[in-house]
Structure 1
Amino acid sequence: MSDYLVRATAGGGQILAIVARTTELVEEARTLHATSPTATAALGRALTGAILMAATLKDGQSVTLHVRGDGPLGGIVAVAVPGKVKGYVGEPETVLPLRSDGKLDVGGAVGRGTLDVVKDLGLKEPYRGSVPLVSGEIGEDLAYYFTVSEQKPSAVGLGVLVEPDGKVRGAGGYLLQLLPGAEEEIITVLEKNIAAVGPVSTPFSQGKTPEDILFLLLKDFDLKIHESRPLSYGCDCSRERLKDILLALGKEELQKLLEEQGGAEARCAFCSRVYRFTGEEVAGLLARVAAQERDG
């Protein structure tokens, strides 16, 4: 089964529901970044959360999640457009003891801090929101963000099940939001259904589809599926983009690279691809920076 999501409404249009299977793309991220099981779970949840949020956007729009925690993981970044996501963790080799319930300690790895959300909607300025981390488990933090920052009562479930050898066995998540005018009784039924589903990584690891989980979450509600979209991990880096990053270093740093290394090597944080620039290329960048400074 390939990764994909479904987007639906239920309860006569009072509930927005999105369910995504992300097993393959989280496994690809694990391979690219050589993450430990704990880092895999944390990054996988962030990637899944970002892809769920992107499903509410239009093509050409994007969302960036930045989890800034004080734990050993060193922070998480996930960037998504509809159907595609990329991301990385600060310290991919982070290892922590299992929690008392035998689960990976994502909250301990993330620590305390903030969740920052940036939505580029194609307007003059992007939308920015920030909330304190309530648990560091990512799903709860996103639900808190939606409720507090966007005033959209939400339930978010994110899960990554990692095999003993480190491979991703199942990953995915769901986003349930009450739309304006929703009746209070709906919350009671949704809470019951969510409890019955349990950790969302389990049904995905058992081969359940997003539709299967959608029907369980929205049991006893009328349901209308509006979209099914394939999902993938995708990085859009290029030599030109990495050149822009080198230019941003400034004249002194470029001069230092040229003198000490005779060139430059830049690694993309999202896909680990390495771009090498010759001394002649770095000298050319240095000349561009000098000309910009001269011309004011």
Structure 2
Amino acid sequence: MFSKKQFKNKDRLIKGISNNEGLKISVVKMTDVVKTAKEKHNLSLLNTILLGRGMIGTMLMASELKGEERIKMRIEGDGPVGLLTAEANCVGEVRGYVQNPEVELDYSKDVSLGDGLGLGVLTFSKILYNEAKPKHSSIELVNGNITDDLAYYMVQSEQIPSAILLDVGIDQQGNVTQAGGLLIQRMPEAQEGIIDQIQEKMLEFESIDSLLANGYYIDDIMEMAMNPIEVKELDRQPVDFFCRCTRERFIHALSMLGFEDLQEISDEGQELVCHFCNERYNVTEDEIEELLVETKAKMN
């Protein structure tokens, strides 16, 4: 059971809009989400920060979507992390994984966070209503720290000047302290130069994880980030690490294999693993045999 204080400070996202200046803002707390990802994937400190930022950024982007629409971030780099993927929808479901979850940088050398991903490409895919195919757009990574890369993406691909902060706090024991982020976007009617002022302010703004650790919640952070501009709350919602994988979905995926492929694995059961949440599902020999029978029947 959650205490009243714990319930009040659960992971959530809040959206707001300025009264006159043509700005909109989303602020999210995702401490438990990042802790869950770290535990599920046995993430190194490097990957905890990078995947945490990736999921926070993707959740902020998803706050602009509707209903079951969703957005997927995919970063492919030549660094030791390899592939990083995060996915979210506007109802607060977010998940993600990295290709090499346990890798770490050699901090005895002159390295930065961006060396984990290295040189590469960031791609966003949006699954939208009334669109037959997902919409894809890509940029080259700016420096691989995800925060700067996402800010650059917003200008280059979305043509929306934005200010963004993505923060994951880690203590000396390697535990996640707090995690969250904010996204401020300029709307078409905004005054010229207003987003430049916000961006300058964000350079001096305290990290989101520090603010959360000091007892500020997403409401407070939204007001502080926009001050002295007045902001009105539009919506808020819970945020959770949530994966829709099921055993039935994996069996359905197996049923899409060809007869020969199924035959190759028919003499033993299969353990199938979901990349996003690391959940494991066992499929028995008998179940694979049933799929073989069904596949053969379709061939006749």
Aligned position for 1:31: 39
- Distance change (3 Å), C-alpha of 1:98 and 1:201: farther
Deviation at 1:143, TM superposition (A): 1.3
Residue pair 2:120, 2:140 contacting (<8 A) in 1 also: yes
Q: Deviations over 1:82-128 (max 9, x none)?
A: 11101111111011134989xx9431111111111111112222221
Aligned positions of 1:255-274 closer than 5 A: 255-259=263-267, 262-274=268-280
- Distance change (3 Å), C-alpha of 1:220 and 1:98: farther
* In structure 2, C-alpha distance between the alignment counterparts of 1:275 and 1:87, rounded to whole Å: 18
* In structure 2, C-alpha distance between the alignment counterparts of 1:107 and 1:218, rounded to whole Å: 29
Work out the number of aligned pairs and report it: 290
Deviation at 1:291, TM superposition (A): 4.4
Residue pair 1:158, 1:200 contacting (<8 A) in 2 also: yes
Aligned position for 2:285: 279
Q: Which moved more, 1:155-164 or 1:202-211?
A: 202-211
Instruction: Name which of 170, 194, 217 aligns with 1:186.
Output: 194
- Distance change (3 Å), C-alpha of 1:219 and 1:106: same
Aligned position for 1:84: 93
Could you tell me the TM-score, scaled by structure 1's length?
Answer: 0.91
Q: Which moved more, 1:244-253 or 1:58-67?
A: 244-253
Q: Which moved more, 1:150-159 or 1:243-252?
A: 243-252
Q: Which moved more, 1:163-172 or 1:50-59?
A: 163-172
Give ranges in structure 2 of 5+ residues lacking alignment. 1-8
Query: Which amino acid is 2:88 matched to?
Result: A
Deviation at 1:12, TM superposition (A): 1.0
Give percent identity, aligned residues only: 34
Q: Look up the SS of the partner of 1:281 in the other structure.
A: helix
Aligned position for 1:119: 126
* In structure 2, C-alpha distance between the alignment counterparts of 1:234 and 1:99, rounded to whole Å: 37
Aligned positions of 1:40-51 closer than 5 A: 40-51=48-59
1:169 equivalenced with 2:177 (yes/no): yes
* In structure 2, C-alpha distance between the alignment counterparts of 1:204 and 1:71, rounded to whole Å: 31
* In structure 1, C-alpha distance between the alignment counterparts of 2:292 and 2:65, rounded to whole Å: 39
Deviation at 1:248, TM superposition (A): 4.3
Aligned position for 1:93: 102
Query: Which amino acid is 1:175 matched to?
Result: L
* In structure 2, C-alpha distance between the alignment counterparts of 1:151 and 1:100, rounded to whole Å: 37
Q: Look up the SS of the partner of 1:194 in the other structure.
A: helix
Deviation at 1:154, TM superposition (A): 1.3
Aligned position for 1:238: 246
Give ranges in structure 1 of 5+ residues lacking alignment. none
Instruction: Name which of 20, 35, 53 aligns with 1:12.
Output: 20
Deviation at 1:13, TM superposition (A): 4.9
Aligned position for 2:214: 206
